Amino acid sequence: MINIKQSKSEFLNFFQNKELKKVLDLGCGKGLMSLFFSRKGISAKGIDKRNAFEDGAFKNFEFISGDITTEDFGKDNDLIIASLILHFFNKDKIHKLFEKMKTSTSHGGYNLIICMSNLDSMKSKGKFFPTKEEILSFYEGWKLEKELQGETEIEEHSNLLPHKHNLIFLILKNEQA
Cα angle value 112/68/90 (rounded, 5°): 85
DSSP helix/strand/coil, 176: coil
- What one-letter code names the amino acid at 73? F
Give 80's strand partners. 24, 111
pLDDT of residue 59: 80
pLDDT of residue 121: 85
Q: Where are the domains of the chain?
A: 4-174
Q: H helices within the chain, ranges in order? A: 4-13, 32-38, 94-103, 132-138
Give every residue of the chain whose pLDDT is below 50, as ranges.
none
For 67, other C-beta atoms within 10 Å of its C-beta total 10
CATH of domain 4-174: 3.40.50.150
